[in-house]
Structure 1
Amino acid sequence: MYPENPAMAGAGRIHMPRSLKIIACALVAFVVMPIAKAADVEEWLMRINEAAASRSFVGNFVYVHDNQIEAMHVVRRIRNGMLQERLYALNGDAREVVRDEDRVWCFIPDRNLGVHDYRQSSESGFPRIMSEDLETLSRNYRFEMGGTARIAGRMAQQIRVMPADRFRYGYDLWADSETGLLLRSDLVNDSGQSVEQYMFVNIEIDGEISDHELESVTSRENLVWYGMDLPNMSAEVESPVWRVQSLPAGYRLSKHIRRMNPMKLEEEEHMVFTDGLSSVSIFIKAPGEKQSGMAGLSRMGAVHAYRETVADHWITVMGEVPARTVEHLAKAIVHQP
């Protein structure tokens, strides 16, 4: 999950994904298997969906990007259909994220900072794929069964997801053979290189998780909090004046809301475009105080962002997609009042 708000990028960039992100790869022996039938791929994708929606777990995973390794501890509980989650950075700057179905709290004690926001999606992890979506996805991706490997002490099945063009990354997924839970996920560029990787190094699935394990270990005191008193003001935009004139094949508008930025208490529009796997967000801010950051392209791991002004508004396009995708959308957005 890329950050849902660019103001949260530094705080919330310890997301679980849709991508989960290799320690001692030399120890992992791959067993090559024949390419399986489409029905086998569909069955595994459905298992991944079901596991993401129903499995609780506690574990540690590594996130590898830009020649860096970040180690994270995660506690995730699903009880009576309700999701609660806590992530805690084990190396580097102290960071912690606590979230439930509706809200997110980000703790950044090294900066004396805390951010509270409302979740714009109820999902965590790999995007939900329904069986009726597979035909649509097959126009932009090719799916193959891969081999098996041992990850975090458990056997895992590989599923390769290969893009049809250069406007989206590929995925190299490894799902737990017993439960279907994702144990490793790589985003792969058009050269076949991993640009971002999540991988569990240990995990306990479906054990009992206490309320205490979901409480933040970082004290709320002495932090300057943003957004704590901010009501959930997101609303669908009924008469949009912003449009993207041309989209890469397969992408469609899935959400267009108006919301408050918890860091600056400024109203912004948020558009989300997806092809069913890859997603791109566009944030639109009205003229106001001088905006921080520079125009043009930037990158962190697999996340690319492109900023520029259109009709005196700041436009930020970002997502776990190639640079050409965010630039394409930034150049295609128009203001039509």
Structure 2
Amino acid sequence: MAALLASAVAAASETTADDLVAKMVRAVDQLNYEGIFVFSQENRMETMHILHGRDEQGSRERLTALTGEPREVIKDDHSITCIRADSGSVCMEPRKTLMGMPGMSPLRGGTEGLRDNYRVNAGASYRIAGLSCREVAILPRDELRYGHRLCIHEDSGMLLKAQLQGHDGGVLEQFMFTHIEFPESVEEERFQPTLEGEGFTVQRLEKRDRPEREVLEPAPHWHLRDLPRGFDVTAVRKRAMDANPHPVQHMVLSDGMATVSVFISRAERPEDLLVGVTRSGALHAAARPVGDYQITVLGEVPAATVRLIAESVVHEESP
């Protein structure tokens, strides 16, 4: 009887977690909000102001650093504009904006596909930025992926806190709102740059479609064999790249939460080929040569995962 009761409670918790995550994915993109949040990674901490609006023209977002070198990112459905001081400081990565949060896109299909690789449960309620939020834990079943702890405002669905956790439960990355408001509307002029004039560099990237001649048929001889459990190929593309004289084949893998990219490109010279694993925060990259080709695997997953994926890439000619 006790086992049946525990099972029923667990099922109810999972259903609640599904509802919260589905509501969160909609809220982060659909709501109007303005607030201040803290982003921390290892020994680095940044405080940022974010303004997000949604109307019939789509989503718009402005992210401004409140600590360190002055810098700003303005993003909409068509472009990304980065403004930074000329002193050489780097601009915020687009993924640090809530529209580009790690793990958000794979969750658009809900949490149902996660359960083979993660345990998904709703937990206790907390107060973040003066609002009550409910914790959702998405914890890995093995050491090939990271864990996530989210705190979601139940009324609005807004994500108020997120942690990316390592195998030992240590926090690799975290963001948390310290203040947030939900205005009914946001005036268009508020998405104009606040950092302007002498001393600033502006870089604008248009998210337009590339010419058809740059979109190529993927090479059929590249395959991924013996992938780590739970990872599947979700997309394969081949494009001409401005920074590379040879077309680059790009494979996207996902386990439902984590996303990993595999890049395959021909090297100009043998000495250009790299091998090894590097790390930046929670991001790992593995490099491995296959003949004259450079294989590069990149993702917010443990080092062992990118290494296994890199080793799974094979080139097989048709018989």
Task: Give the TM interval when normalised to the shorter protein.
Answer: 0.7 to 0.9
**Within 5 Å, which residues of 2 pair with 1:226-265?**
232-233=210-211, 235=215, 237-261=217-241
Aligned partner of 1:315 among 283, 295, 298: 295
Residue 152 of structure 2 corresponds to residue 179 of structure 1: no
Aligned partner of 1:303 among 270, 277, 283: 283
Aligned partner of 2:145 among 168, 173, 177: 168
Partner of 1:10: none
Please give the alpha-carbon distance, in whole angstroms, between the structure 1 residues aligned to 2:155 and 2:272: 47
TM-aligned CA deviation for residue 295 of structure 1: 3.8
TM-aligned CA deviation for residue 242 of structure 1: 2.4
- Over 3 Å counting, the alpha-carbon distance change for 1:79 and 1:311 in structure 2 is farther
**Within 5 Å, which residues of 2 pair with 1:103-122?**
103-110=79-86
TM-score (norm 2): 0.80
Three-state SS of the structure 2 residue aligned to 1:37 is helix
Which AA in structure 2 matches 1:232?
A: R
- Over 3 Å counting, the alpha-carbon distance change for 1:183 and 1:42 in structure 2 is same
Q: Which has the larger radius of gyration?
A: 2
- RCO greater where, 1 or 2, for CA within 8 Å and sep 6 or more? 1
How big is each residue's C-alpha offset from its partner over 1:261-307, in whole Å with a ceiling of 9 and x where there is no partner? 46668743322101111111122333238998964222122111122
Which AA in structure 2 matches 1:74?
A: I
Q: Is the 8 A contact 2:134 2:153 kept in 1?
A: yes
Gaps of 5+ in 1: 1-33
Please give the alpha-carbon distance, in whole angstroms, between the structure 1 residues aligned to 2:20 and 2:250: 32
TM-aligned CA deviation for residue 55 of structure 1: 1.1
TM-aligned CA deviation for residue 244 of structure 1: 1.6
Partner of 1:272: 252
Residue 173 of structure 2 corresponds to residue 193 of structure 1: no
* Alpha-carbon RMSD: 3.4
Greater share of residues in helix:
2
Gaps of 5+ in 2: 1-8
TM-aligned CA deviation for residue 127 of structure 1: 3.0
Partner of 1:42: 18
Partner of 2:35: 59
Residue 312 of structure 2 corresponds to residue 335 of structure 1: no
Please give the alpha-carbon distance, in whole angstroms, between the structure 1 residues aligned to 2:293 and 2:19: 45
Q: Is the 8 A contact 1:311 1:335 kept in 2?
A: no
Partner of 2:125: 148
- Over 3 Å counting, the alpha-carbon distance change for 1:268 and 1:105 in structure 2 is farther
Three-state SS of the structure 1 residue aligned to 2:314 is strand
Residue 192 of structure 2 corresponds to residue 215 of structure 1: yes
Please give the alpha-carbon distance, in whole angstroms, between the structure 1 residues aligned to 2:74 and 2:305: 31
- Over 3 Å counting, the alpha-carbon distance change for 1:331 and 1:226 in structure 2 is farther
Please give the alpha-carbon distance, in whole angstroms, between the structure 2 residues aligned to 1:186 and 1:40: 19
Aligned partner of 1:326 among 302, 306, 310: 306
Partner of 1:78: 54
- Over 3 Å counting, the alpha-carbon distance change for 1:155 and 1:229 in structure 2 is closer
Three-state SS of the structure 2 residue aligned to 1:324 is helix
- Identical columns (%): 29
Please give the alpha-carbon distance, in whole angstroms, between the structure 2 residues aligned to 1:68 and 1:114: 14
TM-aligned CA deviation for residue 100 of structure 1: 1.6
Partner of 1:129: 107
Q: Is the 8 A contact 2:231 2:253 kept in 1?
A: yes
TM-score (norm 1): 0.76
